Amino acid sequence: MKKITQNILMWCLPLLLLVGACENKSATDAKGKIAVIVSTLNNPWFVVLAETAAQEAEALGYEVSIFDSQNNTALENNHFENAITAGFQAILFNPTDAEGSVSNVAKAAEAGIAVFCMDREVNSSLPTSQILSDNYAGCVSLGKYFVDQLDKSGNYVEILGLVGDNNTWNRSKGFHSVVDHYPELKMVAQQSADFDRNKAMEVMESILQVHRDIDAVFCGNDAMAMGAYQALKAAGMENDVEVFGFDGAADVVDAVKDGRIAATAMQFPKVMAKTAAQLADNYIQGEKDFVKKLPVDVELVHPGNVEHYAAYGKKE
């Protein structure tokens, strides 16, 4: 599997990285072409998702290209138009926006190209199938652990992901479905940091200027959890405030082990990516009847069980 080595300019030909056909097969010998269009490659979690999808499709005999939308729906639109023009037969898709990405899926559907969403969903029945983490259930488990760790009382902050992404709200709703039953747990601030580590650090720094009396921070993903932790550490508060994430990223699994992060919820991006590639192969081989949404379980990771987990999944 070749590594992603460079970013692209926004209006360049959006062929970011030719992952290539199998080592012993030329592109002309491939069964067809599959595109992997991913919301961003600035987050290691999405790099794993995109590379695994490409690797699996490549192993199944396809020529594969990865396109980075850089969390920009306009750039994502360009990728879809180029994928349609270039004759890709299926798109393994990680959307930038649940609503804003629907028009792109519609273009592909109109062109007869199958779209398999991975991890993030669009608010439409047009995708051939959507393979999604059970974010709500994962955050119910995380919320229960949160309540226990805080002994049912204290002040906390919530840092949200992208406001246009369903994952953001499914995670938040799952968390609050538990935590809101405890009146002594008080949310003193709630802000978005777009699933971005640096933005989360800035948001946390800003919140700390107003709210110093906090006991915990619930973050919608692991990148933001690490950003919040950095801000707390800079303020000398890292030992007084518990930080909770979501994803199962490598650095957060390590941080749970050494006590910097209280817990995270493990998603399984490799499972979602491989499933999407295999379904795309089935589609190209002639199958047309697919389940519209395939849920993938999420598991709570905390100091008591972290030894059973590695980055982005369980230890093999």
Q: Name every residue whose Cβ is closer than 8 Å to that of residue 165 and which is 6 or more positions away in sequence.
A: 95, 97, 98, 120, 195
Tell whether the model's pLDDT for residue 51 goes beyond 50. yes
Q: Within a 10 A sphere around the Cβ of 261, how many other Cβ atoms?
A: 28
Rounded to a whole number of angstroms, the CA Rg of the chain reads 20
Of residues 20 and 110, more confidence is placed in 110
- List the strands of the sheet with 33-38, edge to edge: 17-18, 63-68, 33-38, 90-93, 114-118, 129-133, 293-296
Instruction: With a cut of 70, say whether residue 230 has pLDDT above it.
Output: yes
> What is the rounded average pLDDT of the residues 97-126?
96
Instruction: Retrieve residue 31's tokens.
Output: 């069964």
Which helix (DSSP H) or strand (DSSP E) does residue 141 occupy? helix 135-149
- Sign of the dihedral through C-alpha 84, 88, 90, 96: negative
The Cα–Cα gap between 149 and 141 comes to: 12
AA identity, residue 61? G
Distance CA 92, CA 299 (A): 24
Two structure tokens written together for 214:
């906090």
Question: Where are the extended beta strands (E) located within 168-282?
Answer: 185-192, 216-219, 242-244, 264-266
Counting every residue written for the chain, the total comes to 316
* CA separation for the pair 195, 175 (Å, rounded): 17
Per-residue buried b or exposed e for 19-49, using 16+ beta carbons within 10 Å of the residue's own CB: bbbeeeeeeeebbbbbbbbbbbbbbbbbbbb
pLDDT at 20 over 60: no
Per residue in 251-279, pLDDT (tens digit) is 999 999 999 999 999 999 999 999 999 99
The reported pLDDT for the residue numbered 28 is 52
Q: Are the beta carbons of 139 and 113 closer than 8 angstroms?
A: no
